[in-house]
């Protein structure tokens, strides 16, 4: 068959994929493979087959197809095949994840990282980073969260200087997860140190997705410092969230409400009533018209405190 014959069938195959006629697309795969004139034709055909199978939820066949692709092309020198083969590893791992087969998912990520981590490029870095993140989740599921620390730390070490903002979002999340794991294991010193890393490295970001981790790190660091009786420093950290992020919306505004709530609790514990009542007024003024359930709970809490104040002032 001529190259033109493959191109004609491949064009029809892609048309079926685009129109979401996946069963009809799969019907064309034997013709694609028969008309293939080189390895790259076979590679594209099998990757397309895996895509169609994924869309009709044939997960076992998806895995088998990616196994076939990897077996056939893992030592291929063709530049295009080498560039896109990483997706076969990654998608195979995702197929195992869909089955909750974390052991095989983890082994697939391990093979992917072993093969590609020494040759990081702009084409591969996002897949490598996502593989690290998913690998950490697998380790947490199969072993324990503390075992995932090494995965997160290796990820941060390899990619913390990436100029890709989407990579930086993943790094911020990984660094924040490190702090959470230390906090959950009651390692207060390491938790505070790790939250400080998130704050220091990402506080000047312009991306709200990253700033959310900064705000959360400030609040969580304040809570950890409070546990060590460093109340004034905790208050400063809450104030930093309130001052820095009050003009934002979405999740950042939720963090402002949480910081104000946590500050009110601390002021109450310290018997700083005047500051407490001023803060409650500020909470009610800022958030009374919110539709967010969490924020409305914060407002309600502030209202209870104000009601107690009025009751105290009017009591005999």
Residue 86 CA to residue 78 CA, distance in Å, equals 13
On whether residue 167 sits in a domain, the answer given is: no
Helices and strands, counts by H and E, the chain:
16, 0
On whether residue 305 sits in a domain, the answer given is: no
- Can you tell me which residue has the tokens 């910081």? 259
For 17-45, the pLDDT digits (tens) are: 999 999 999 999 999 999 999 999 999 99
On whether residue 14 sits in a domain, the answer given is: yes
Which residue in 46, 134, 44, 151 sits closest to 95, CA to CA? 134
The domain in which residue 21 lies consists of: 1-99
Across 1-5, 122-126, 187-191, 208-212, least confident range: 1-5
Which residue in 178, 81, 170 sits closest to 131, CA to CA? 170
Say how many CA atoms lie within 13 Å of 208 toward its Cβ: 11
On whether residue 152 sits in a domain, the answer given is: no
Instruction: Report, in this order, helix, strand and coil percent for the chain, each rounded to 5.
Output: 80, 0, 20
Q: Are 201 and 175 spatial neighbours (Cβ–Cβ below 8 Å)? A: yes
Q: Looking at residue 77, what is its pLDDT?
A: 87
* 184 exposure class (CB count in 10 Å sphere: 0-12, 13-18, 19+): exposed
Q: Are 283 and 257 spatial neighbours (Cβ–Cβ below 8 Å)? A: yes
Mean local confidence (pLDDT), 289-298: 92
On whether residue 197 sits in a domain, the answer given is: no
Here the CATH number for the domain that contains residue 40 is 1.25.40
On whether residue 128 sits in a domain, the answer given is: no
- Can you tell me which residue has the tokens 């034997």? 30
The reported pTM is 0.88
User: How many structural domains compose the chain?
Assistant: 1
On whether residue 124 sits in a domain, the answer given is: no
On whether residue 119 sits in a domain, the answer given is: no
């Amino acid at each position: 068959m001529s190259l033109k014959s493959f191109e004609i069938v491949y064009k029809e195959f892609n048309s079926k994929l685009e129109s979401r006629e996946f069963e009809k697309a799969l019907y064309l795969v034997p013709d694609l493979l028969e008309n293939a004139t080189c390895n790259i034709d076979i590679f594209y055909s099998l990757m397309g087959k895996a895509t169609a199978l994924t869309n009709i939820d044939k997960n076992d066949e998806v895995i088998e197809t990616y196994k076939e692709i990897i077996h056939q092309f893992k030592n291929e020198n063709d530049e295009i095949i080498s560039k896109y083969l990483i997706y076969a590893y990654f998608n195979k791992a995702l197929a195992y994840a869909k089955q909750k087969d974390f052991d095989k998912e983890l082994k697939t990520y391990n093979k992917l990282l072993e093969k590609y981590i020494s040759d990081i490029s702009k084409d591969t870095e996002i897949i490598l980073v996502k593989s690290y993140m998913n690998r950490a989740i697998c380790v947490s599921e199969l072993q324990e969260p503390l075992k995932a620390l090494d995965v997160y730390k290796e990820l941060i070490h390899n990619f913390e200087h990436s100029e890709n903002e989407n990579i930086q979002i993943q790094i911020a999340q990984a660094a924040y997860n490190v702090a959470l794991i230390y906090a959950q294991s009651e390692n207060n010193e390491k938790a505070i140190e790790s939250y400080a890393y998130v704050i220091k490295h990402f506080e000047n970001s312009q991306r709200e997705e990253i700033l959310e981790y900064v705000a959360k790190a400030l609040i969580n660091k304040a809570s950890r410092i409070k546990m060590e009786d460093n109340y004034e420093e905790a208050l400063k950290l809450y104030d930093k969230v309130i001052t820095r992020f009050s003009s934002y919306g979405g999740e950042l505004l939720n963090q402002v409400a949480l910081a104000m709530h946590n500050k009110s609790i601390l002021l109450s514990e310290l018997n700083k009533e005047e500051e407490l009542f001023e803060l409650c007024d500020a909470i009610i003024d800022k958030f009374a018209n919110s539709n967010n359930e969490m924020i409305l709970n914060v407002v309600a809490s502030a209202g209870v405190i104000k009601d107690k104040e009025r009751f105290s002032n009017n009591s005999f």
